[in-house]
Each structure stands twice: as C-alpha cells, then as structure tokens.
Structure 1
Amino acid sequence: MKPLPKHVRQRWRYLAVGIETWPDVTIDRRAFQRHLWFAAQNLLGDVGSAATDLSVMQFGHDEGTGSAIVRTRRGSVSDARAVLTCLSEVDGNPIGLRVRGVSGTVRACEEKYLGGRGEATEHGNVAFEGAERPAISRDSHVDVRVETEFVGATQRDIS
C-alpha cells in the first residue's frame, strides 16, 4: 500500500514539557500517559479527547526533575496545553508541569527546548526550623526532608 501524499497526511505538533516532583517520587511513562489521557477525557470529553489525540513520545524522570515530549494534532495545541494544566498528580504524587515550547518535529523539539543540561542536584544537610535536616538542592530550589515528607524551601529559608 502506498503512503498518502504529504498534503493529505495528518499534521502533528510536539510539546516539550518540563516535569517537577518531590525528589523521592518515581514516575514512569505509562503512568504519565494514563493520567494524561484521563485528564483529557475529564476536560474535553470522549470526542474532544479523541480529536486532540495526546501521546507521550519521549519521557524521562529522575530525582524530581524530568521532561517529556507530548504529541498532539496541529489544531489542538491550546487544548493540549489546557489538559497539561489540569494534570496535577500522577499515582497520588503531586506533579508540576511546564510547557517549554511547541515544535513541528520531534527533533526540533528536542534540540530547541530539551537540549540543555539538566539541573545540578546536590544532596546534603541544611539548617531548617532550628534543626539540621537532610535536603536536596536544585538550582534555587531546596527540598528539605521533615519527618517522612519533603518541604519546598528557598536558599533564604535554610540559613
């Protein structure tokens, strides 16, 4: 069977998405895809979700930061952004998403928006609330472990 001519083929857009979670949370591609589909279905309904056709093309997550490339149809970029905004947790763990940019090809999306080095992560102890506590530092963000959970802080909070 011959492929369709270019002017008849489906056109896609690729969203570069930055992911941030607590440092001890692990998220895999399958769980992220499942929650993305549920968010699309809840926001847009069955017909809108099928028309948007969101798919996770690439996914990576480690020590609280990561990135993904999400594919959507060309006319549905604003709906895809809205769905990503509605996604606030994956498997019960809070998640922060930020669309870094939109591109017409996966390669351009990787090079333009995901090509930079990841944030440097440092493990150590900090003074927080009058006690020395273990913490993980990423750029200007510091996640301090208090008992069994993490608390988000800045450099000013830990001195």
Structure 2
Amino acid sequence: MKHLPKHLRPRWRYLAVGLESWPDARISRGDFQRDLWYAAQNLLGDAGSAEVDCTVYGFDFEDGAGHAVVRVRRGEVDRARAALACVDEVNGQPLGVRVRGVSGTVRACEENYIHRPQVPTEERKVAFADAERRAVVRSPRVDARVGDGFLGGTELDT
C-alpha cells in the first residue's frame, strides 16, 4: 500500500500539558488517555471528539507532578483545550491540568514547553495545626498529610 502524498496527509498540533496532583497519586498514561477521551466525548459528542482526535503521545507522571504531550488535528486546538479543561480527576485522584503551549512538532513541544528536571521533591516534618506532621515539599508548595489525605499550602502557612 502506498503512502498518501504529503498534501493529503493529516496535519497535527502537539499540546504540552502540565499535570499536578497529590504526592501519593498514581496515574498512568492509559488512565489519563481514557479520561481525556471520555471528557472529549461528553463535551463534543462522538463526531466532535473523532474530529479532534486527542491522543496522548508522551506521558510522564511521578511524585504528584508530570507532563503529557497530546496530539490533536490542526484547526482543533481550541476544542482540544476545552476537553482537557474538563479533566479534573483520573481514577478518583484529583488532577490539575494546564496547557503550557502548542507546537507543530513533538520535538519543539518538548524543547520549548516541557522543562526538565522538574521541581525537586523532598519529604520532611512541618508544624501545622498545632501538631508536627509529615509533608511533601515541592517549593513553594507544601502538602501536609492530614488523616488519610493531604492538605495543600505554601511554605508561609507552615
């Protein structure tokens, strides 16, 4: 089977997406892809989500922070951004999603918008609510363990 001529091939745009959650969250590429497809389908309908064609091309998530590269059709970037804004949790874990930028190639997307290494993470004890608690520190954020979950704050709050 022959390849399509260059002028007939689909054109793509790549969205650099920043991801942030609690430090103990475990999110995989497949989980994020599934919830992105569901969000696009719920917002745009079957035909609209097929036109946008959101595909997670690259994914990295650990210690509550990470990034993804999402491939979408050219001309559908605004609708893809709207679908990404509808993703607020993955596998019951709350997730903050932020589009850092849009590019025409994966390489340019990673070089311009996905900066490595990310903010270093350390675990230490902090004074919070009249008690000493374990906390995960990603400067300037401090996520203090309270009961079964975390409570977010800044270094000035502790």
Deviations, residues 28-50 of structure 1 (Å, cap 9, x unaligned): 01110000000000000001000
Measure the CA separation in 1 of the matches of 2:78 and 2:42. Answer: 16
Render the CA deviation track for 1:19-70: whole Å, top value 9, x for unaligned.
0000001000111000000000000000100000000001111010000000
Q: Which residue of 1 aligns with 2:72?
A: 72
Q: Equivalent residue for 1:147?
A: 147
Local SS of the residue matching 2:7: coil
Shift of 1:115: 3.3
Q: Secondary structure at the match of 2:31?
A: helix
Q: 1:61 corresponds to which letter in structure 2?
A: F
CA distance in 2, matches of 1:20, 1:155: 18
Q: Residue 46 of structure 1: SS of its match in structure 2?
A: helix
Can you give the 5+ residue segments of structure 1 that lack an aligned partner in the other structure?
none
Identity across matched positions, percent = 58
Counterpart residue number, 2:86: 86
> What is the aligned length?
158
The correspondence of residues 40-119 of structure 1 with structure 2, limited to 5 A, is: 40-119=40-119
Supply the distance in 1 between the matched residues of 2:116 and 2:146 (Cα, whole angstroms): 32
User: How far does the alpha carbon of each residue in 1:72-119 deviate from its partner, in whole angstroms, 9 at most, with x for none?
Assistant: 000100000000101000011100011010000111111111133211
Q: Tell whether 2:128 aligns with 1:121.
A: no
Q: Distance in 2 between matches of 1:87 and 1:2?
A: 38
Distance 1:67 1:119 in 2: 12
Shift of 1:122: 1.0
Residue 138 (structure 1) shift: 0.5
CA distance in 1, matches of 2:53, 2:100: 20
Alpha-carbon distance in 1 for matches of 2:154, 2:110 = 29
Residue in structure 1 matched with residue 15 of structure 2 by the alignment: 15
Q: CA shift at 1:6, angstroms?
A: 1.4
RMSD between superposed Cα atoms in Å? 0.7
Give TM-score, length-normalised by structure 2. 0.98
Q: Which amino acid aligns with 2:64?
A: G
Unpaired runs of 5+ residues, structure 2, are none
- Matching residue of 2:30: 30
